[in-house]
């Protein structure tokens, strides 16, 4: 059983084991597991642009940076290859939700061959908000594959924040 894992030490088979059907099955299982744990190679698809978090034909999970200042919450989302029309943003009392769909089609025709590839991926990401937001003053801008969202804190929230000075003991 331990020989099925690719990271165990190998022992050389005896001449008798080498031709035994069970040993052949074990050798094949070892090879399959070794191939499984190696990084996948998508050489035929290498020229397709990569999208952060995207599994091949899978869901898309964009990277998000969030910072909190005294007056607002700033959110930056990496969405390369998408346009502002592909993205939906909604805000509720306690969460910011960003969703969208990425579609890509590539068609090539040359003498003697034809190639058509399609990729689709959708995402929906909800980010919990740490404080109350003034949703009417929220802004979003999309430039060079980066979505920037400014969420101003409500005036009540800004007044409620108090800084406590630290004094030496």
> What's the pLDDT at 50?
47
Cα gap 151→75, rounded to integer Å: 8
Tens of pLDDT along the chain (169 residues) come to 455 555 555 556 566 666 677 877 888 888 888 777 665 554 444 444 444 444 443 446 788 899 988 889 999 999 887 888 889 999 988 889 998 888 888 888 888 888 888 877 888 888 888 888 888 899 999 998 899 999 998 877 666 667 778 888 7
> What's the pLDDT at 9?
53
> What's the pLDDT at 79?
87
What's the first-to-final CA gap in the chain, in angstroms? 62
> Which residues in the chain are classed under CATH 2.60.40.790?
64-160
Could you give the C-alpha distances from 135 to 75, 110, 127, 128, in angstroms and in order?
14, 52, 15, 14
- Yes or no: domain 64-160 corresponds to CATH 3.60.90.10: no
- What is the reported pTM? 0.55
Cα gap 62→48, rounded to integer Å: 17
């Amino acid at each position: 059983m331990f020989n099925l894992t690719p990271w165990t030490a190998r022992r050389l088979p005896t001449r008798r084991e080498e031709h035994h059907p069970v040993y052949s099955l074990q050798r094949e299982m070892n090879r399959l597991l070794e191939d499984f744990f190696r990084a996948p190679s998508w050489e035929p698809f290498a020229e397709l642009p990569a999208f952060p978090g995207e599994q091949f034909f899978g869901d898309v999970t964009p990277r998000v940076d969030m910072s909190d200042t005294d007056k607002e919450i700033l959110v930056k989302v990496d969405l390369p290859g998408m346009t502002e029309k592909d993205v939906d943003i909604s805000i509720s009392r306690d969460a910011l939700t960003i969703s969208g769909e990425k579609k890509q089609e590539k068609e090539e025709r040359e003498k003697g061959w034809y190639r058509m590839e399609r990729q689709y991926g959708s995402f929906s990401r909800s980010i919990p908000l740490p404080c109350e937001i003034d949703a009417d003053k929220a802004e979003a801008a999309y430039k060079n594959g980066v979505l920037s969202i400014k969420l101003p804190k409500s005036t009540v929230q800004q007044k409620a924040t108090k800084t406590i000075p630290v004094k030496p003991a």
